[in-house]
Structure formats: C-alpha cells, structure tokens
Structure 1
C-alpha cells in the first residue's frame, strides 16, 4: 500500500467547549516536541490530573460512587474523530487482502519470500494500482472475484455490490485469563470481526423519519469523506485501532518517528478522554456561543439546542470532523458531533474500583455474556443530544455490539514525557 495512504489513516479528531463542573484538570501546557513526532494526525497531550465521576441530571442519573481525582501519563490523541474516509481505508484493506489471499491466489500479487517464512506478504504497491484488481481487464481475475459480489437481490444498500458479510478482520487481543502457569489457555485471542459499518442505523435509530439519503450515502459517498464514521461497534473500533497499530509499526513508524518505541494504538480510557476534553479554548459552557473579531455570534459545538432544533449549530446531522474551534490541546469536537467509544466497562460504581494512576476498568465481553456485561462508557454527547450530555462531565453507556448513527470514536497512543516542568529542572 502506498505510504501516502497511511498518512490519511492516522488522522482523527475532536472539538471542545463544554462545562468542567466535575472533570477538573491540573494546570498544564499543551506541548509539541519537534524532535519526537507522534503518529500523523495525533497531537501530544501532556500528563496531568482530572477529577472524574458522574454529575446529576436528576435522581436517575446520580452516580452511587464519589468523585475521584486521578493522574494520567502523557499520551497522543487523534486530533479529530475518525472520518468515513479513514475508516474506509481499513475496510478496503480488508477487502483487498481477502480478494488476493482467498480468491485470486496469484503469486504475482505477493512479495518474494526471501526468508523462508510460511506467511507470504502482499505486494501492496501492486494492489494499489487502480487497474490491478477491481478494474482489471484480465478475465481470469474477474472470474475469481465473482464470488465476492452479491448475487440477485441480495445486494445490501450502500455496499457497492461487494458482499460486505465477507469483510472480516482477524482481531487479536490478550486473553485476560492467560497466565504463565496456565498452559491450557491461549495467550492471544483471535476473533473475526466484520468491519463494514452498519449503514441501516440511520433508519433503525429514527423510525418514522426520512433518512434514506443517510442510509444509502453516508459511508460510501465521497461527499461525506470528512464526516465522522458512525454505525461502528465498540469491537469494530478496537479492530480498526489494532490494524492501525500494524500499519504504523510496519510502514510509518520507521520513516517518521524512529525514536518512538512501538506502542499500541487503541481507544482512549474514560479518564484520558475526560482529561483531554476539559482543556477548553476560551469558552467553557456550551450554553454560550463564541463571538469572533467581527462580533458575530458563532456556535461552538454540534448538538440539539432544544426540542426539535437541530439546525442552530449549522448542522442537522453530523458535521465534518474539523468543524468549530479546537480546544487547547488542538482537539476538535470533544463536545457534540458524535459521541465516542472509550475503553472502559460501564458501571455506576466505577470510581470505587479504579486506581488513581492511569485508571481503566475493562472487560471484553463475549457474545453469550449478559447484556449488563457489554456496557461501555461513551463520552462527549452528539448531534442529537441536549446540552447536558454534551458536557465532558457526563458519562453514558452503550452496549459494545450496538452500533449507532450518533457514536464514533478516536484513538490514542501512549507517549513519553517530553514536557519538563519547573519542578523537575536541575538547579545550577
């Protein structure tokens, strides 16, 4: 795959402009070390502390736990929410990999096996030639690919005729039950994840609503390239992050940031997300609007202003990922637009179980687990939410296997400390 394609993959973003009533951060400065570049599209978030917990809307939203102050190490975070264009690269990579390895099976599409490895590597430079596969005039290739297309009336709306049920990525993660003493348990779990977004969420989330354009076009039409991807489950988001880690390590890391150790890209923890969202630029309360130099009043986030009013902020549905102003860290849409998946398992008493240092509460629920075990923390609010849910103080949940038209995600990667405070400077 051409290197320029990978530059696009690593972009993602978020905006800020919300209340910090419960999530309060220590005083820090955003920093950019010119000698240590993170993954393209990510910005450096220095270490700091934040008070986490759950605010009240009414008694039904009151958390049974107390608030807790926690400290976080530095990390890199996507500047924007992951866009349709970026996620589509993942889908296309899976599609092309399956096409070459399971259908075409032609040695000319693989790199020479110089080390005697049992696994052959795809020659992505040849695959990215526009006429190599899907526009090939070679009848042999066209015939072999026929099995990847829908037949008859089985075509799924917005899928461009490829049978998206075939687009499975082998997502790998560490088995939480693994120990060195337990030889009967696999260290790594491999799970096939279908990567294509659920484009029917627009109709399912809003019954008796005219959303056929969004269902048919939102993910596949280039018009929506720069809009946040939705219809992605928690596991699909984590699979994207795992794939992106491989791309970063294999192609981008050695070219751009050889100083960085090869760390894992993943979803942010709840604490990381809350901390990154609280450093606002100028305006704090989403009840207000920003006045620019010409004294024109501008919206600061994409959310529902009041019942039935989706248009006041300039967008009926989602907005492009770089809409509105970024926060102090340079993060876009940390308030509104789409809500975002985090790593954390959701429970009201979370603060009773977490550490005060880089906290996270995780559980990778299995398909047959109880629904209660599949809850994941969702942060940031979205284009259809009222103001309360858009504040970074508010934590809500969704089930990990339930994609929505209003939930997207962004990624993070651990970072070394590159901001030296006055407290740590050596005296002369």
Structure 2
C-alpha cells in the first residue's frame, strides 16, 4: 500500500482516539449534549474531514459540461450523442488503466483463498483468445500477453464488463481490509496468517473469521454490519466503545472496543466502473482551460489543439496517443517509431491530461458502467446522468438480530428491491420469512438460507443474485411484482424505453446487456479518440482492444483545492450552556 495512504489511515484513527479522550468535548447544536462522552450515552462524532482517495486514484473536480459536445461530426452516423449540458459531481478515477500485473494480483488472491475452486479461477481469467485472427499470426500474444513480465505494465484486455465489475468489488474489499489491518482495527497481516502465535498459518487474507467461527475472506459490507469480529480477528488498536451498555470484548476486563463504522470516516467508498458521463468529462479535462468559470478553449481530444502530434520542441511530431494512423500503419516507420507501440503500450505512456489521467485516448477502449441506448443523452437526468440502475437490497438472514445473509464467498446476498421506498418493519420481516422458506434448486447460500423462487446465483462466481422482473415472468416472486399493491420493477436499465423486449436480438443488437465503451484503441483510427464518441458491446463479450479503469464516489465537499479560492466564512454554532432560572 502507498505509504502516504497508510499514514493517512493511522492519522484518522489517531484523531478518533484523541477526540474520545479529550476533556473538551464537541457539543450538539440541537440538544446541547456533549459528543464523545461515555457518561451521557457515548454518541461519537469525529472531525469533519475530506476523505483521501483510495490507492491509484486521482481527484476529478466535477462541474457542468456539454455531454457529446466535443464531437465535430457523427463519425458513425449513429445519431447517438446528441449534445446536452449536464452536471457531473466530483469523483475519483484511476490515473491509469488496470494493468496485467493488477489482474495477476487478483488471480493470485483467488488461487490462494479458493485453491479447490477451479471454476471460480477459470471464470476470472481474461479471454486471451481475443488476440487470435484468422489471417494474422497473433498466437504469441495469446500465450504471453497476460503473464509475461515484459507485458506486466500493459493494460489488461480480454476482460468482460462482468469481470471488470467483479474486480472492482474485490479491489474494494482488499483496500478496506488493508486499511483495517495496517491501522490495528483488525489483526495484522502477520497475525492473521500465523494465528497470532508466530507459527505457520494459512495464506494471509484467507484467515478472517466471521461471527459463528467460519473462516472466510473479508467483505466490507459484512464487516460494517458487525459480523466480522471476535478473538483472533480483532486488532490491538480498535475503536473505543463509549456506549454505556458495551462490555469488554473478552467479557472480563479491559475497556470496551468496537468495529469501525461508516461514521468514523476510515473506510473508503467502493471502487466501480465510471459512468459514461464521468468518463467523458474526465477525458476532456477542461479544468486546464478554465478560469473564473469561463472555459477559454474547448477540446476535441484530451489534449489541446486539433492535431494529433506534439507541438513541443523536444517531442515535436510524435503522436499524442497510441492509435492506428491508417491502413497497415500501427506504429510508424522502423528506425523512428512514432507512437512506439505495435499493439498496446504501458499504461503510463504518453502525456497525461489536465486531470493527470493517462491514455484517455487510444491504447485501449474502456468499459463504462452505462447500459447503451441510442438516445440516452436525451433521456437521462441532467445531474449525474447514468443509465443502468438495478436496485437491490441486502438480504437479511435474521432481521431480529440484524444479520445479513452471505453466499459461499462471505459476501452479502442481494435481491432485487421490492419497493421504491423504505419498507415497513412488518413488510420487511414477512418478506424475509417467505424468502427463507422457499426452496430453490438453483442455489443455496453457505449459511443455509434458501433463495426465493426465480432467483439464481452462479455458485462458481461471487455475483449478486438476479431475478426476472418482468411482470408475469415464470418464477417471478409475487412480492417483487407487487409491493403495497402497486407494480414495481427494480430494473431501471430500460427506464421509459418503449422498445418491446421481445424484439431484442431480432431487429437490433441493443439490449439490457449492451454496455458502453469509449476512448479508442491501438487498433482504431483517430476519429474514435474523441471522448464524445461511443460504442457498445455485450457485457459478456471481450476484445483485445477493450480494457478498463476504476472510479470511486467522492463524499463531502466538491471542491478539490478550496484553499486557493474565495469562500464565505463558515459560521459555527455558539456553544450552549444550561442556566438555572
């Protein structure tokens, strides 16, 4: 882990400890009660901070821009990028594409944690056969591109949209687990691997025991629900628990401690694929051409100017990205290779844009989170536009105890949302009881809770449960179709889409599995380097020309560098002192 990132985690934990032990407690502006006081209830509040990004990410300050506005022509005559002004909130984004070495780390983790699950490992493998062409000798790439050290810093390709989503989930859990172990909230990596006795233990990462004594890897959602704790799991520097009802962890002596909560500001947000709007906004990097809310110059590419070559003296004439200049010209003339890449190039090649992002044009196309529709730009909201929502709820294994149901990989089982609003407690508990009593031949979670009819999970892949949500579809649970007497669908990918679903794949290639990718690749012409261009591919397909990078939601203030800009003075509430009459 990045040393500065680790230090940041320690500082946050140290800040929390300082606030809980400080004699001058902060005060509630509404009740006058002191925060962080174990004698009045122990409600803990920590200093408001702007969270640092996770490893590999850079901040992208959001704002308004014209979606599709950088395109000078409809190169594919698809009429699919109608210009529209939208607002993109601030977020974080990987400065590079995910590289082969990053994916090999993922495969290694799967191998040591599930050594007997060959299907799981196989399903995570990229499709190296994407390099094969009927009339091209690409077999060396089939054998070497993913694993040979010579390609370790090249972008991973042959990855489907679904595989990219799984990687994001895995990366989130490993990041947060590392924060907790490095800061002493969980047992250290060494103690977890050796059982805390210095002896020979299981592979690190495979020894986290959840409540109940089962051995399974760390999961952020399960941890936040308080289901990963106990002897051999807890760290030596856990958060103090000021709840007057709390008892020492060992049940005998010592001060009560607790697991980290989202309120502590220690854990990070989940990694995910960027939305199409986020990707396009980040690729343009107009922040470099902005002064006092005025954009001084637009862009057609992630760099300034209309050309594709560097204008600077030292690099004059060199291509600004890795792309195909013309038929049969993938890298230039021998002796003076222009973009110096016959196929892909290392992920830190070329000059980053004004946000500090590498290869936002060329090298490989990149998956986005959006489901493709030709007229999405007209349909989506103008704030944080996105098309692809599939609303899901975590299933409760025991609503009375607040325990989440887990799959065989220790991850929460998620069912399609049954209502557009928070359910009543009676509705929630009845639905959970019905779900627990329905037998399903397709899958059974590791904790013994049966899946509702119509829901199936691939036992070899740690995915969330899926369900048919078309009213009247065979096997669709009645409580999914109707909630409170009103029809509801948890799948909003085709929101207000009038196209009949029975025609998908018959009269068009577009369906709810069609996902947007952008950016152009090593084998694309220059027209695809424009960030406004958009194409789609089925989420189960892969290509030697498509990779991805991750994003992360930014919480809190939207300004990245507030100290350099004018602000109104923030007025804090006056402290309250109770006075007798």
Could you say which residue in structure 2 is the equivalent of 1:162?
Answer: none
Separation of aligned partners in 2, 1:393 and 1:350: 13
8 Å Cα contact 2:94/2:549 also seen in 1: yes
Which moves more between the two structures, 365-374 or 209-218? 365-374
Could you say which residue in structure 2 is the equivalent of 1:71?
Answer: 87
Query: Aligned-pair distance for 1:390?
Result: 1.2
Whether 2:525 is the aligned partner of 1:386: answer: yes
Could you say which residue in structure 2 is the equivalent of 1:360?
Answer: 386
8 Å Cα contact 1:195/1:236 also seen in 2: yes
RMSD of aligned residue pairs (Cα, Å): 3.1
Query: Aligned-pair distance for 1:422?
Result: 4.4
Under a length normalisation based on structure 2, what TM-score does the superposition of the two structures give? 0.49
8 Å Cα contact 2:64/2:88 also seen in 1: yes
Query: Aligned-pair distance for 1:207?
Result: 2.3
Whether 2:60 is the aligned partner of 1:45: answer: yes
Which moves more between the two structures, 364-373 or 40-49? 364-373
Separation of aligned partners in 1, 2:386 and 2:139: 39
8 Å Cα contact 1:337/1:382 also seen in 2: yes
Structure with bigger RCO (C-alpha 8 Å, 6+ apart): 1
Q: Deviations over 1:292-322 (max 9, x none)?
A: 3436322210001112210132211000000
2:121 to 153, 159, 167: 167
8 Å Cα contact 1:57/1:388 also seen in 2: no
8 Å Cα contact 1:338/1:380 also seen in 2: yes
Whether 2:324 is the aligned partner of 1:304: answer: yes
Query: Aligned-pair distance for 1:397?
Result: 1.0
Query: Aligned-pair distance for 1:272?
Result: 0.5
Separation of aligned partners in 2, 1:409 and 1:58: 23
Structure-to-structure mapping, 1:112-123, within 5 angstroms? none
Query: Aligned-pair distance for 1:62?
Result: 2.0
Which moves more between the two structures, 349-358 or 250-259? 250-259
Structure-to-structure mapping, 1:57-68, within 5 angstroms? 57-58=74-75, 60-63=77-80, 66-68=82-84
8 Å Cα contact 2:362/2:522 also seen in 1: yes
Tell me the SS of whatever aligns to 2:271. Answer: coil
Separation of aligned partners in 1, 2:168 and 2:570: 42
Could you say which residue in structure 1 is the equivalent of 2:281?
Answer: 275
Whether 2:308 is the aligned partner of 1:288: answer: yes
Could you say which residue in structure 2 is the equivalent of 1:245?
Answer: 172
Could you say which residue in structure 2 is the equivalent of 1:351?
Answer: 377
Structure-to-structure mapping, 1:310-325, within 5 angstroms? 310-312=330-332, 313-325=339-351
Under a length normalisation based on structure 1, what TM-score does the superposition of the two structures give? 0.65
8 Å Cα contact 2:280/2:532 also seen in 1: yes
Aligned residue pair count: 309
8 Å Cα contact 1:274/1:393 also seen in 2: yes
Tell me the SS of whatever aligns to 1:197. Answer: coil
Query: Aligned-pair distance for 1:426?
Result: 2.7
Q: Deviations over 1:321-347 (max 9, x none)?
A: 000000111100000000000000011
Query: Aligned-pair distance for 1:259?
Result: 4.0
Separation of aligned partners in 1, 2:305 and 2:74: 16
Q: In structure 1, list runs of 5 or more residues that go unmatched.
A: 8-33, 104-147, 149-164, 169-193
Query: Aligned-pair distance for 1:252?
Result: 3.0
Query: Aligned-pair distance for 1:96?
Result: 1.4
Query: Aligned-pair distance for 1:351?
Result: 1.7
Which moves more between the two structures, 398-407 or 245-254? 245-254
8 Å Cα contact 1:84/1:228 also seen in 2: yes
How has the CA–CA distance of structure 1 residues 248 and 91 changed in structure 2, closer, same or farther, with 3 Å as cutoff? Answer: same
Separation of aligned partners in 2, 1:299 and 1:318: 14
Separation of aligned partners in 2, 1:260 and 1:314: 42
1:332 to 345, 351, 358: 358
Q: Deviations over 1:8-55 (max 9, x none)?
A: xxxxxxxxxxxxxxxxxxxxxxxxxx9843112110111212211384
Separation of aligned partners in 2, 1:398 and 1:234: 9
Q: Deviations over 1:128-152 (max 9, x none)?
A: xxxxxxxxxxxxxxxxxxxx6xxxx
Could you say which residue in structure 2 is the equivalent of 1:122?
Answer: none
Separation of aligned partners in 2, 1:53 and 1:288: 20
Query: Aligned-pair distance for 1:78?
Result: 0.2
Separation of aligned partners in 1, 2:375 and 2:84: 11
8 Å Cα contact 2:309/2:316 also seen in 1: no
How has the CA–CA distance of structure 1 residues 391 and 196 changed in structure 2, closer, same or farther, with 3 Å as cutoff? Answer: same
Whether 2:172 is the aligned partner of 1:212: answer: no
Tell me the SS of whatever aligns to 2:87. Answer: strand
Structure-to-structure mapping, 1:130-145, within 5 angstroms? none
8 Å Cα contact 1:345/1:377 also seen in 2: yes
